[in-house]
Amino acid sequence: MNETLLGAYVFFLAIIVGFQVVSRVPSMLHTPLMSGTNAIHGVVLISGILVAGQATNTATRILGCVAVLLGSLNVFGGFVVTNRMLEMFHAAPDKRS
Amino acid sequence: MNWPVGIAYLLASLTFIAGLRMLSSPVSARNGNRVAAAGMAVALVATFFLPGMKTGNFWFIFVAMAVGAGLGSGSALRVKMTAMPQMVAIFNGMGGGAAALGSVLEYVHKTPQSSQVMAVGLSAAIGAVSFTGSLIAFAKLQEIIQGNAHKWRWAQVLSGVLGLAIVALIVVLMTGSTSGDTGTLVLVGLTALALILGIVLVTPIGGADMPVVIALMNSMTGVAVALAGFVLSNELLIVAGALVGASGTLLTVLMGRAMNRPLTNVLFGGFGAVSVAGGMELPVGATVRETSADDAATLMCYSQRVVIVPGYGLAVAQAQHQVRELADLLLERGVQVKFAIHPVAGRMPGHMNVLLAEADVPYDLVYEMEAINGEFPSTDIVLVVGANDITNPGARDDPHSEIYGMPILNVDYARQVIVLKRSMRPGFAGIDNPLYYDPKTAMLFGDARASLQKLVTSVKSVAKPRTSRRSDEGRNLQETHRS
């Protein structure tokens, strides 16, 4: 099968899964949801790593590293801040069990 | 792609889905985030083992990653919870920028097959719009630039022209008549136009609409990342981008619904740009009743059901801890206390919940709008702290109101309402609130934090009732809370 077509299958199925999964998230957690998904799309850092890693000239190497920098800001910042928020949520003491 | 790396990517895709799934409950959410982060780590490490990677370049990448990780985690650890929308906006912009840059570089690196060229163009364009758009949103929220809304007709026209030009350039790129250096030039050109489009699109939008803008930008970055996945034939990026795109879209729709405004209106409406003209039908000679902290405290102490409605003003005044202390004191006295959260309270979806969680308010005392709106008629006292438009009965009753149709918390159905407010200045949307002129509403003027502190002091001095005036329900809650 054509690779782009295969990608399209993956894309649309993932969108359906995304809608299903995200619509179960209570509005209480919408901010962590947003910052968490934010961290997840930081996976684009991979494209920066690939470009910089396969670079054969300095310009590409530098620009690739800029992409890596932006992407890692996104990934690390996103997961850390989400974790920080989620650690604050707790139930009334005896309901925790 | 070789086998082990492919499997690592598959694993990462699954952890992302599992992580989001675990966000459906506050109990499992924390681990969900960690699961997704672990998947991310696996995918990142695996990437270095792909063929074609030159080990000589690794040190540059490691340095860039270390700097990004340091800056990102550092600011993530320090940021105040009130500044969370800015933080999300700027991280989101970084992702958009990375997606755009990655796609452009990939095009230059090896001119992709024709079926991928459209993905290159779209990814670069959408990523670039998200990059500058998010940065403007950040600047507005951080108050680096003015947060006002503008009704700029020329901005709308310019957005349209830029959008069409970008589409045209993508078509040119796809026809294949341009390749090599000309193609690169076209691609860089359309990316530059997209960078401008992001600025033109977001600058006229007012601060009140930033929740929608952030959600939209989030979804756009997601789509840009998915498209970058098409460019690289990388299914992990496609899955991750699609998940985020779906999530952002869902939140954008929810926010729009909570504000009763379609997206086009948010983007092009210039909402709040003009102060409200007409439509306000306050009764002639309407007056505002003022109360004192002592009176308000006594009222609350001797009531059975109190609902607290926190708004962003509470967060601005850094009064979350005072409000929690007040709630604790009332709970100790056997008063049933609940918090009511409007979907757009705060500056982004769910923001108010985070702020209350930070102040140690247990999340099971916090109720969403749909869950609590039916309870207001049987509520003795509603305490509104730093919230305005989301309690405006005009949105429900007055077809002339600028926010007519926006769902609100029906606080005016309660027996009495106490509003903590700095002054009679209109709210974020610049609209007057008839609630304040309602005879059953009493205003307690002053800084939210100072007023709450006074209420706390007053509540402490109110003698505890000897006879059991408490409702059973209240007592249960109290015990729950104390044990």
Instruction: Decide if B342 is inside a domain.
Output: yes
pLDDT score recorded for residue A74? 94
B196 and B130, same domain (yes or no): yes
Query: What tens digit of pLDDT does each residue of B288-319 get?
Result: 888 888 999 999 999 999 999 998 888 878 88
Q: How far apart are CA B268 and CA B263, in angstroms?
A: 8
Q: How far apart are CA B37 and CA B161, in angstroms?
A: 40
Contacts of A40 in chain B (CB under 8 A): 16, 19-20, 36, 40, 240, 243-244
The residues near B387 (Cβ < 8 Å, ≥ 6 apart) are B309, B310, B311, B312, B313, B314, B342, B345
| Mean pLDDT of all residues in A57-86 | 94
Nearest chain B residue (CA) to A90: B362
Q: Is B412 a catalytic residue?
A: no
Instruction: Tell me: pLDDT of B216 over 80.
Output: yes
Instruction: Decide if A52 is inside a domain.
Output: yes
B129 and B264, same domain (yes or no): yes
Instruction: Decide if A53 is inside a domain.
Output: yes
| Mean pLDDT of all residues in A74-94 | 91
B8 and B126, same domain (yes or no): no
To the nearest whole percent, how much of chain B has pLDDT over 90? 52
pLDDT score recorded for residue B95? 94
Query: What tens digit of pLDDT does each residue of B236-277 get?
Result: 999 999 999 999 999 999 888 888 777 777 777 655 444 343
Instruction: Decide if B35 is inside a domain.
Output: yes
B262 and B326, same domain (yes or no): no
Estimate to the nearest angstrom the gap between the alpha carbon of B75 and the chain centroid: 18
Query: Considering chain B, what is the average pLDDT of its residues?
Result: 86
Nearest chain B residue (CA) to A16: B246
Q: How many CB pairs under 8 A join A and B?
A: 395
CA distance A84 to chain B (A): 7
B105 and B254, same domain (yes or no): yes
Q: How far apart are CA B211 and CA B412, in angstroms?
A: 26
Instruction: Decide if B439 is inside a domain.
Output: yes
Closest CA to B119 of B249, B224, B236: B224
Q: How far apart are CA B277 and CA B303, in angstroms?
A: 39
B261 and B397, same domain (yes or no): no
pLDDT-derived band at B473 (thresholds 50, 70, 90) equals: very low
Contact yes or no for A88 and B29 at CB 8 A: no
Instruction: Decide if A47 is inside a domain.
Output: yes
Contacts of A56 in chain B (CB under 8 A): 54
Nearest to B246 among A19, A38, A95 (CB): A19
Instruction: Decide if A13 is inside a domain.
Output: no
Instruction: Tell me: pLDDT of B483 over 80.
Output: no
Contact yes or no for A74 and B218 at CB 8 A: no
* Residue with the two structure tokens 């039908």: B281
Instruction: Decide if B71 is inside a domain.
Output: no
Nearest to A43 among B68, B230, B236 (CB): B236
B301 and B426, same domain (yes or no): yes
CA distance B135 to chain A (A): 13
Residue B211, burial from CB neighbour count under 10 angstroms (0-12, 13-18, 19+): buried
pLDDT score recorded for residue B401? 80
Q: How far apart are CA B417 and CA B413, in angstroms?
A: 9
Q: What is the ipTM of this complex?
A: 0.94
Query: What tens digit of pLDDT does each residue of A14-69 get?
Result: 999 999 999 999 989 999 999 999 999 999 999 999 999 998 889 889 999 999 99
Instruction: Decide if A54 is inside a domain.
Output: yes
Largest CA distance in chain A: 61
Nearest chain A residue (CA) to B90: A74
Instruction: Tell me: pLDDT of B480 over 50.
Output: no
Contact yes or no for B94 and A42 at CB 8 A: yes
Residue B425, burial from CB neighbour count under 10 angstroms (0-12, 13-18, 19+): exposed
B197 and B346, same domain (yes or no): no
Please answer whether residues B389 and B428 qualify as being in contact, where contact means their C-beta atoms are separated by less than 8 angstroms: yes
B44 and B99, same domain (yes or no): no
pLDDT score recorded for residue B76? 94
Q: How far apart are CA B435 and CA B393, in angstroms?
A: 6
B404 and B457, same domain (yes or no): yes
Q: Which of B209, B328, B389, B432 is catalytic?
A: B389
Instruction: Decide if A5 is inside a domain.
Output: no
Instruction: Decide if B59 is inside a domain.
Output: no
Rounded (10°) CA dihedral B244, B246, B248, B252: 180
Question: Which amino acid, residue B352?
Answer: M
Nearest chain A residue (CA) to B10: A10
Instruction: Tell me: pLDDT of B278 over 60.
Output: no
Nearest chain B residue (CA) to A23: B250
**Where residue B426 sits, what CATH number does that domain have?**
3.40.50.1220
Contact yes or no for A83 and B44 at CB 8 A: no
Domain tally, chain B? 3
Nearest to B57 among A43, A55, A92 (CB): A55
Query: What tens digit of pLDDT does each residue of B99-146 get?
Result: 999 999 988 887 677 778 889 999 999 999 999 999 999 999 888 887
| Mean pLDDT of all residues in A72-97 | 85
- For B101, the domain range is 81-272
pLDDT score recorded for residue B447? 87
- For A57, the domain range is 28-91
Instruction: Tell me: pLDDT of A92 over 90.
Output: no
* Residue with the two structure tokens 């024709």: B114
Tell me how long chain B is.
483
Instruction: Decide if A81 is inside a domain.
Output: yes
Nearest to A67 among B98, B242, B350 (CB): B98
Domain tally, chain A? 1
CA distance B277 to chain A (A): 34
Q: Which of A1, A9, A47, A87 to mutate to test the interface with B (most CBs of B within 10 A)?
A: A47
Instruction: Decide if A67 is inside a domain.
Output: yes
| Mean pLDDT of all residues in B421-436 | 72
Three-state secondary structure readout of chain A: CCHHHHHHHHHHHHHHHHHHHHCCCCHHHHHHHHHHHHHHHHHHHHHHHHHHHCCCCHHHHHHHHHHHHHHHHHHHHHHHHHHHHHCCCCCCHHHCC
Contacts of B94 in chain A (CB under 8 A): 42, 70-71, 73-74, 77
